[in-house]
Structure 1
């Protein structure tokens, strides 16, 4: 064990002796998080949506009032279709909800009117907003049915019964919606733009660092370090373990400092510490394994760095590190399922946005462990060849 720790210590000292490594490991991800996180997170956090009421009836107006009940999450503005289309093009609103002309007539017949929801391709929260609009409509449909039943029993018009039962108190009838944010400024964990940017850039630069660090294996073999260690009664297994441990420690030092720095600088709460440690540990093992695979299939440290960086940047793009994965084509989303970055990002989102604990992310950890096992086995086999 002492020999393994000694090799690990030597590699750590070599990494941290180079000042340019500090720029890649810490300064670059923090700077990019500040720039892009600030650009994306400079609004009040609410989705601004336009409502186009083509029906203009009692039920359509009440539906709009119910939509506006939860103003902690959405901002709804009633406007004409032409004005809404113009604002959507200018990206002043995130989307539009069109209430069709037959809205009340369909509800009177017990049917479910079809809303038209339009939005830009980069709106990652579109499914959630659409679900909120549909759930509010479903509630309204139930209210109308209840009003008609009550009116039949009392022998009165259903509209009068509806006004008495529901129209005066929309706050008590609208479905509850809770907004979660990545920041913990109000003790709610969630996924803000700054936090998702921080997670993405942290994963990207940790992988880039690990690709460069794995190149030291090639350099050591090329310079005759391994043969000298073998003659000094150090086994090949101990040499390999020492290098792998050094890569793992380097990755955790970088991740740890980035997590603390983004918490202090940007107020990001990364969630349950135990879950974060377990998830990132499995992810780092996977990255080390990928580094070994690349190192085993190139001839020089320069090739290791070039191919490693190309692989990292390309796969991070596909995995949704730079933009919401929902906007990617279906075939790219399918490819992302086989990339560890996608699963690491999913795990972090679960921990930070939904307050997940270790038991909640065991499935994701199992997938990352499988990635690590496969890449380690392939890398070690190739290095022995």
Structure 2
């Protein structure tokens, strides 16, 4: 067992020392998650409002009402706010001038300027802003009514707050008949993009890493390994463990990086890690098959990258699986990516348990077992073949 782990450690170090992997392993995955997350809107499902104006009572109460409706609020200058709207980083801009703030403080009507962005959810966010403005106006009119009846303003505000706490708010249940919207409920663009890119790069890193297996055979590393007190079975197991270590390292790096940089919610981290481990077994076994049947490391890297991209595209790692038509979605399940994608979606968006993802894990484990057996057999044969 010690020899197997030593071989696996050597393979992982050889992979990390390859300078050509620095960009593709460490930089490119996070860049793609950023691009996809921005495309899907990040916090777009919550709504994004940028507020322009100095601190005032009007700004404070309005922002409180907007945030209570679970809308993300940021502050910026007028030019910066318009730039955010133009770049799709905000849905609505609310401009509060000094005159507006003064009129509100004096109890007079205030006219707010609202600029609407061109994002898909901008209209919905605008309605939420209007609701917040009406709530502020209603509360102000109630206070004015009570003070007009002889109550002190502070006492009137306290009485209204107490009445609001004592009242039972109306409850509205919305049933979404759009399957796609329902599938993405509760997930940000970063969550969706991170899961797909993790699967894409785990498979790419593994299959492209099959070239190191060919180089190990060509450079005599495998021969020197077998010259030591190491059996052929241990050497084969070590190579399989090395491919597995590369896959797990790549996936773990993306999961940790996206959680820290983009706040990606991976749900139950133990279950997400289990999905990554089983998927990595499939990727490692696939790398062994390619590295055993081919004798050219350049050709193996090309085939690995090509196959990895095709399988990822078909399996929902580039475009969410939920958007696929039914016929293409059924075809997608010939890939391990589709099964792993569904498992991640179950964990991230629906709080899935181990029982919920057992079918996906079972299919992935079966794929890994078949490919590992085939890869080990092919690697044994390749050791006896001149290269």
Aligned length: 262
Partner Cα separation in structure 1 for residue 310 and residue 200 of structure 2: 10
Contact 2:7 2:235 in 1 (8 A): yes
* CA distance in structure 1 between the partners assigned to 2:43 and 2:32 by the alignment: 18
Task: Check if 1:316 corresponds to 2:312.
Answer: yes
* Alignment-derived partner of residue 32 in structure 1: 32
Deviations 1:61-102 (A, max 9, x none): xxxxxxxxxx989xxxxxxxxxxxxxxxx98579xxxxxxxx
For 1:297, the equivalent position in structure 2 comes to 293
- Match of 1:299, SS? coil
Among 245, 251, 258, the residue aligned to 1:255: 251
- The 5 A counterparts of 1:112-131 are none
Which runs of structure 2 are paired with 1:152-231 in the superposition (5 Å)? 174-175=173-174, 190-231=186-227
Provide the C-alpha distance between the structure 2 equivalents of 1:34 and 1:46, rounded to a whole number of angstroms: 18
1:287 aligns with 2:280: no
TM norm structure 2: 0.62
* CA gap 1:344/1:304 in 2 versus in 1, 3 angstroms: same
Counterparts of 1:34 and 1:173, CA distance in 2: 35
Shift of 1:175: 4.7
The equivalences for 1:354-365 within 5 A come to 354-365=350-361
Counterparts of 1:1-385 in structure 2, within 5 Å, are 1-41=1-41, 44-45=44-45, 92=120, 174-175=173-174, 190-385=186-381
Q: Is the 8 A contact 2:206 2:243 kept in 1?
A: yes
Q: CA deviation at 1:330?
A: 4.3
How far the C-alpha of 1:46 sits from its partner, in A, is: 6.2
Q: Deviations over 1:248-267 (max 9, x none)?
A: 22222222221111111111
Deviation of 1:237 after TM superposition, in Å, equals 1.0
Runs of 4+ with >3 A deviation: 90-94, 170-177, 326-331
Deviation of 1:314 after TM superposition, in Å, equals 0.7
Q: Give the CA RMSD over aligned residues.
A: 2.8
Measure, in 1, the Cα distance between the counterparts of 2:274 and 2:9: 23
What is the rounded CA distance, in whole Å, between the counterparts of 1:190 and 1:301 in structure 2? 44
| Whole-Å separation in 2 of the counterparts to 1:217 and 1:338 | 26
**Alpha-carbon distance, 1:368 to partner:** 0.4
Q: Per-residue deviation at 1:173?
A: 6.9
Give the unaligned 5+ runs of structure 1: 48-70, 74-89, 95-169, 178-187
Distance in 2 between residues matched to 1:18 and 1:350, nearest whole Å = 36
Per-residue CA distance 1:28-83 (angstroms, 9 max, x = gap)? 01011112211221563169xxxxxxxxxxxxxxxxxxxxxxx989xxxxxxxxxx
Contact 1:189 1:271 in 2 (8 A): no
Q: CA deviation at 1:27?
A: 0.6
Which 5+ residue runs of structure 2 have no aligned equivalent?
A: 48-68, 72-117, 123-168, 177-183, 382-387
Q: CA deviation at 1:329?
A: 4.5
Instruction: Give the Cα–Cα distance (whole angstroms) in 2 for the partners of residues 93 and 258 of structure 1.
Output: 29
1:190/1:263 CA distance change after superposition, 3 Å: same
